[in-house]
Amino acid sequence: MIEHFDYKKIAKELFDDIQKVPLKNTPNLRKVRQKYSKKLAQAAPEQILDMVIKALSWALRELIPHDRESVLRGWDKISYPY
């Protein structure tokens, strides 16, 4: 467990690192993901889930007011592995 888990700081760093990638292909983005996987390896599962839920809720609040119809149509295209 990470004692002082600042998901906002980690999310901002991740976003900034993704923005710095000149060619956003799978190998380049995988390197960024691996960097953050190592950083988050010490976090408790609850901390990771909390970060993901807050990031998703932020993204939905940002997207839905601007283009609600497109976001809602996008849910139809999600495929679930189960």
pLDDT at 68: 63
How many domains does one find in the chain? 2
Spatial distance between the Cα atoms of 23 and 3, rounded to a whole number of angstroms: 35
User: Does 2 fall in a domain?
Assistant: no
Task: Output the CA torsion sign for 16, 18, 21, 27.
Answer: positive
CA distance 35 to 53: 21
Residue 3 has pLDDT above 50, yes or no: yes
- pLDDT recorded at residue 43: 85
Residue 24 within a domain? yes
Residue 10 has pLDDT above 70, yes or no: yes
- Residue 47 counted as domain residue: yes
Specify burial of residue 6 (Cβ count, 10 A radius: 0-12, 13-18, 19+).
exposed
Mean pLDDT of 32-60: 83
Range of the domain at 66: 43-75
Token couple for 77:
């295209």
Percent of the chain whose predicted confidence (pLDDT) is above 90: 16
Q: What pLDDT was estimated at residue 27? A: 94
Rounded CA-CA distance 3/55 in Å is 20
